[in-house]
Chains A and B, each alone.
Chain A
Amino acid sequence: MSTPLTVAPAPLAPSTDQYEAETAELTRTYASHGGVWGWITSVDHKSIGKRYIATCFAWFALAGVNAAIMRLQLARPESHIVGPDRYNQLFTVHGSAMMFLFAVPVMTAFATYLIPLMVGTREVAYPRLNSFGYYTFLIGGLFLFVGLYTNTGPDTGWFAYVPLSGPEYAPGKRVDVWAQVVTFTEIAALVAAVEMIVTILKMRAPGMSLNRIPLYVWSILVVSFMIVFAMPSVAMASTMMLAMDRLVATHFFNRAEGGDPLLWQHLFWFFGHPEVYIMFIPGLGFVSSIIETFTGRKIFGYPVMVMSLIVTGFVAFGLWVHHMFATPIPQLGRTLFTAASVLIAVPTGAQIFCWIATIWSGRPRYTAAMLFALGFIVVFTIGGMTGVMIASVPFDLQVHDTYFIVAHFHYVILGGVVFPLFGACYYWFPKITGRLMSERLGKWHFWLFFVGVNVTFFPMHLLGFDGMPRRVYTYLPEMGWGRLNLLATVGSWVIAASVIVFVVNVVRSWTSGVVAGPNPWRAPGLEWATTSPPPAWNFHPVPVVEGRAPLWESGDELPVATGLATDRREVLITTALDAEPDNRHEHPGESHWPLAMAIAVGVTFIGAIFTPWAYVVGFALSAVAFAGWGWPRGTHPEDELAPGKVPDTRRSA
């Protein structure tokens, strides 16, 4: 591998010969098994991050096919391309896949790739756990789509309201598939959240104190804490309550035996509303990174931006009841949750003004990535404004369960998630692949997508006002909804065309794009201080941070810290607040046990659809995988414990 850095004869910096010898040793230390086995056993966050991203986009494409079929169905009244039963499966799997398999995990996927690079470390905190999380997610996604394609697709909506999803009204296994897919994806999200929290708090480059970390890293930190407190709610409700009501006749939601259907709604939305912010807060981080680089100046109002992210994270947990305004909840509760729902617009608004101020006072370069960031501001703001409208109880009751709601949340999700995500693809593609994407195709992609999104979803506001309900598989000509529906369907074709342009661009650029070099955008973040693509160990030596925009401030000389081992997978652990060097930690190598554990978990939860004994079998299998995972191998004789051995106090603390 070529060496990107020339070595200065400065004190403490390695000489050129020493640097090359250490690099050769790192190559041996981080060598993978190679081939398919190497791919399976890899614990490299970049390898896992790439496959995570690709897997999420695959689910996005499949869920998008569902959407395209639904739009064809609704293009004209009394259409019979699909029947009501199939239509129910299509919209349920579309929503479930977009939420559980795309919008949230694709942010995890990007974070898995980017966060260690952005904080200047060699790996994520727990590489094997990272691998396990990916495989669990993969099994969950496969399970959902295999269910759909075998006519066992969930069909009670992405929030699976009881009693519709309970044993009485939803016999068969369709809802069980949904409940266990949720379990798989929540396990994956939770382990990734712990990974990210520890990586960000304890593995930052020396000098990267909390007030210097990039806004994208802040966004992932906030979201990871949100996941820790949001996901247990739905995992518990689906796996331990809904699935049990269906499997072993518990009565959590059975009114006749003292259960409560509204308990499901509370538990679901206690997760479901923060989920919205979990999806788009990383998008805010993407936009901050992109705008900072392409305006050539630091983000205006960094402390306000950070506080806004944190406040959004907190307030997001105080909104869930606004999804339940049509249920019999106390008046005071409605008032409180209306106020909170309006309040949350404030921190997001503050960020939008900071971005505008940054663009205003910078020198914007209108690349494809920048266009997507600007598109985000427009589309997301429209979605946010309709959100403020439906925070009002009387208005909400009028448009509840109509296409107005469909329009609102597609503006929020496409604006807040997909626009920044496409921007991020253009921005970090050269880091991941070493090659630039085509800007010309990128701009085609942007304009087609921008027009397509608005043509598809803006008419849905009007359809909602006209009273068109959600989740109907067809409608009568007399309702007068035909023209706007046809327009929305034409818009969906434009979106499909834009995605095809994107795929063509990715494939062409990956194989024959312009070679990027380490920092093609002249960006300030640490991820641009290493090669494109980075080596398995990311950095050697470890970078040291002296400001909030390290590469802009370091000039021609990158400050580094030497002395991290090259004969083992060692990482630097720093203090949580000021990122002062504290200790060295050896990371584990490649392993197939995370996959074995994921399979054990898969057997458990898929088997549990049919019999509760699957939990017993699965526990035993998991215990075996756990033992294989944790059993010490490849220990270093000099580090081994023995009775009476005196510890090396130089190396321990």
Chain B
Amino acid sequence: MTQRLRGVMDLRGLPDVVFGSRDIMWWGTLGFVLIEGFTLALCAAAYLYLTQNFPTWPPQNTPLPSVVAPTVQVVVMLVSLVPAAWTSRAARRYDLGAVRIGLTIATAFGIAIVGLRAWELLVSLNVKWDANAYGSVQWLVLGAHATLLAVELVEIAGMMLIFWIAPVEEKHLSDVTDMVFYWYFMVLSWLPLYVLCFWLPRWL
């Protein structure tokens, strides 16, 4: 079949640097937020399901988890939202210097938060994964979120290095804002899991 072409519009005037939901990288980030958020929700569902198998939660002779380090971590995570938002706004106004500083701060926060998570797993939980199903599912929830945190730390640190030493284009500023969007998810998704893992055992 041979068809003639009939020009009806010209695309030259369209922008090639956009932010937020106009950018397809934001949509990809949203896709992974949905997948990972639902995975975390399923972890929480498995947690609640297993509580039914025990007369007490945690089981007898299993100590309660400590809440000190986890609470410190929650506070640090919430505080980290401020420089994250500041970095996102800097990216939107094409402020390269501020973005570099913001990414450096975000990396420092990331290292602190991942370190605190390791402490929570190894010290605060007061139970090993192979003690009983309670221990297993505590490690499941914390471990699942910790894995996402660790991967995100690699991304944030990598982005920081790129912005300091590699030739970056204007479109990479949009990637920074998407990364901040993902960080919001990391922090907000942790809040209910924090309550689930560290406070629910005190209330049940």
**Given A5-B5, A639-B170, residue A563 in contact with residue B10 (CB < 8 A):** yes
| CB neighbours of A249 from chain B (8 A) | 129-130
| CB neighbours of B96 from chain A (8 A) | 641-645
Confirm or deny: B75 has a beta carbon within 8 angstroms of a beta carbon on chain A. Answer: no
Considering the chains assembled together, what is the distance between the CA atoms of A651 and B174 in angstroms? 14
Q: Could you tell me the distance in whole angstroms from the C-beta of B172 to the nearest C-beta in chain A?
A: 7
**Given A563-B11, A584-B14, A631-B166, residue A248 in contact with residue B129 (CB < 8 A):** yes
Write out, one digit per residue, whether chain A residues 631-649 have a CB within 8 A of any chain B CB (1) or not (0): 1100110011111111110
| CB neighbours of A623 from chain B (8 A) | 154
Confirm or deny: A560 has a beta carbon within 8 angstroms of a beta carbon on chain B. Answer: yes
Say whether A13 contacts B168, CB under 8 Å.
no
Say whether A529 contacts B3, CB under 8 Å.
yes
Considering the chains assembled together, what is the distance between the CA atoms of A572 and B2 in angstroms? 24
Cross-interface CB contact of A542 among B11, B134, B155, cutoff 8 Å:
B11
Write out, one digit per residue, whether chain A residues 538-567 have a CB within 8 A of any chain B CB (1) or not (0): 000110100000010010111111111000
Confirm or deny: A263 has a beta carbon within 8 angstroms of a beta carbon on chain B. Answer: yes
Considering the chains assembled together, what is the distance between the CA atoms of A640 and B46 in angstroms? 48
Considering the chains assembled together, what is the distance between the CA atoms of A7 and B7 in angstroms? 10
Say whether A194 contacts B28, CB under 8 Å.
yes
Please choose the segment from A73-81, A137-145, A230-238, A285-293 that sits at the chain B interface, where 4 or more of its residues have CB less than 8 A away.
A230-238
Write out, one digit per residue, whether chain B residues 69-96 have a CB within 8 A of any chain A CB (1) or not (0): 0000000000000000000000000101
**Given A251-B130, A562-B11, residue A193 in contact with residue B31 (CB < 8 A):** yes
Write out, one digit per residue, whether chain B residues 23-54 have a CB within 8 A of any chain A CB (1) or not (0): 11001100110111011001100100110011
Say whether B17 contacts A13, CB under 8 Å.
no
Q: Could you tell me the distance in whole angstroms from the C-beta of A98 to the nearest C-beta in chain B?
A: 25
Say whether A640 contacts B169, CB under 8 Å.
yes
Considering the chains assembled together, what is the distance between the CA atoms of A598 and B134 in angstroms? 34
Considering the chains assembled together, what is the distance between the CA atoms of A12 and B13 in angstroms? 14
Say whether B16 contacts A586, CB under 8 Å.
yes
Q: Could you tell me the distance in whole angstroms from the C-beta of B128 to the nearest C-beta in chain A?
A: 10
Say whether B39 contacts A236, CB under 8 Å.
yes
Interface centre among B8, B28, B131, B168 (most CB of A within 10 A): B8
Confirm or deny: B68 has a beta carbon within 8 angstroms of a beta carbon on chain A. Answer: no
Cross-interface CB contact of B42 among A129, A232, A564, A635, cutoff 8 Å:
A232
Look across to chain A and name the residue whose beta carbon is closest to the beta carbon of B99. A641
**Given A244-B129, A517-B1, A632-B168, residue A194 in contact with residue B32 (CB < 8 A):** yes
Question: What's the interface size class on A, roughly?
Answer: 35 or more
Confirm or deny: A252 has a beta carbon within 8 angstroms of a beta carbon on chain B. Answer: yes
Cross-interface CB contact of B22 among A259, A645, A653, cutoff 8 Å:
A653
Q: Could you tell me the distance in whole angstroms from the C-beta of A581 to the nearest C-beta in chain B?
A: 6
| Number of residues on chain B facing chain A (CB within 8 A) | 68
**Given A5-B4, A559-B8, residue A260 in contact with residue B17 (CB < 8 A):** no
Considering the chains assembled together, what is the distance between the CA atoms of A648 and B144 in angstroms? 42
Confirm or deny: B201 has a beta carbon within 8 angstroms of a beta carbon on chain A. Answer: no
Please choose the segment from B118-126, B135-143, B192-200 that sits at the chain A interface, where 4 or more of its residues have CB less than 8 A away.
B135-143
Say whether B133 contacts A560, CB under 8 Å.
no
Q: Could you tell me the distance in whole angstroms from the C-beta of B171 to the nearest C-beta in chain A?
A: 7
Say whether B6 contacts A258, CB under 8 Å.
no
Within 8 A of B (CB), among A1-24: 4-8, 10-14
| CB neighbours of B49 from chain A (8 A) | 260, 263, 266
Considering the chains assembled together, what is the distance between the CA atoms of A197 and B7 in angstroms? 28
Considering the chains assembled together, what is the distance between the CA atoms of A244 and B129 in angstroms? 10
Cross-interface CB contact of B15 among A228, A241, A583, cutoff 8 Å:
A583
Considering the chains assembled together, what is the distance between the CA atoms of A550 and B31 in angstroms? 30
Say whether A639 contacts B7, CB under 8 Å.
no
Say whether A562 contacts B28, CB under 8 Å.
no
| CB neighbours of B3 from chain A (8 A) | 5-6, 529, 551, 554, 556-558
Q: Could you tell me the distance in whole angstroms from the C-beta of A5 to the nearest C-beta in chain B?
A: 6
**Given A258-B134, A267-B42, A583-B14, residue A640 in contact with residue B168 (CB < 8 A):** yes
| CB neighbours of B158 from chain A (8 A) | 626-627, 630
Say whether B9 contacts A232, CB under 8 Å.
no
Considering the chains assembled together, what is the distance between the CA atoms of A257 and B127 in angstroms? 14
In the A-B complex, the 3 residue pairs with the smallest Cβ-Cβ separation, listed nearest first, are A12-B7, A194-B31, A13-B7
16 additional contacts (CB under 8 A) given A125-B27, A252-B50? A10-B5, A235-B39, A252-B46, A258-B133, A556-B4, A557-B3, A559-B7, A573-B18, A573-B24, A583-B23, A584-B14, A632-B169, A635-B169, A651-B170, A652-B170, A653-B17
Could you list 17 A-B pairs, sorted by A, with CB under 8 Å?
A: A12-B7, A125-B24, A201-B27, A229-B38, A232-B42, A236-B43, A241-B46, A248-B130, A249-B130, A554-B3, A582-B18, A583-B14, A632-B172, A640-B168, A641-B168, A645-B94, A652-B17
